[in-house]
Amino acid sequence: MNVRFTSSRKNLNLIPKYYVRTRTLLLLFLLSLTIGIGCCWHTQQTYSVTPQVRLVSYIQASSIYFRSPSGAKIGSGVYTIKKDKHYVITANHVWEAVSKDVECVSVCHSIDCTCTSVDNIIEASSNDSKDYVVVEISRQLFGTEPIRYNNDLRLPGEEAYLSASPGGRLMLVTKGMLSGFDHEETFLQYVVNIYGFYGSSGGGIFDGNGKFIGIVTNIDLNIDPINATIVPNPQILYATPSTEIDFLFE
């Protein structure tokens, strides 16, 4: 009897241990499941891709910058494809600056660059006020997307986006509005109420649907009547409309 009693007692003592272990494992499983669900929910809430995010991402992917032999970033531009060939469009004065005293110009997007000959000009404006140039490059840069565009002149009041590189690898996008036209002798220039910065020249102006509508040519200059000095106004930019770039519609 004593042997049976002792054996039964030992078996009874083992039941709580198994129960505790099972309960502990079950609680750990439920805890890990709860954390996993919470992380997924948090990720979806934090990193949801909105139409605005997709728009800015596309605009950035359509943009390029130029790098001088010294490594400095000078000016910006946009990338396009036509008949399976690759091109960039920028301001003529930007191209003149980056192509001076060199045989080839570094055209870059993010960390990917290609060197294109200074003689690869396909089309340049004969009018200094238009100030644009189209240059052929050898290949598509990694991560770029060609611009989308149409032959419509945009109206004041429409939203506008500027994509340009402020002296570095980052393509910065700022948002503003088309505020009017500047009447040149033979064409109109957009006046864009948007924040510009060093490196904005040659940068693309895009509409709210991500379509390319113009190239930045210059920044507004105000004359300070007190000190008789010229003061840049970074809030006002001038841009040649895409409708004036013959290459796009030939």
Share of the chain above pLDDT 90, in %: 52
Domains contained in the chain, CATH given: 61-137 (2.40.10.10), 159-244 (2.40.10.10)
pTM of the model: 0.77
Residue 215 CA, chain-centre distance (Å), reads 15
Looking at residue 198, what is its pLDDT? 79
Task: Count Cβ atoms below 10 Å from residue 175 Cβ, excluding itself.
Answer: 15
Q: Are 39 and 27 in contact (CB under 8 A)?
A: no
Residues 41-89: tens digit of each pLDDT: 444 455 578 999 999 999 999 999 998 777 777 889 999 999 999 999 9
DSSP-assigned letters across all residues of 47-90? S---HHHHHHHHHHHTEEEEE-TTS-EEEEEEEEEETTEEEEEE
Q: What angle do CA 192, 132, 118 make, to 5 degrees?
A: 140
Q: What angle do CA 32, 37, 38 make, to 5 degrees?
A: 95
State the average pLDDT over residues 142-161: 93
State the average pLDDT over residues 149-167: 90
Strands 172-183 and 159-164: antiparallel
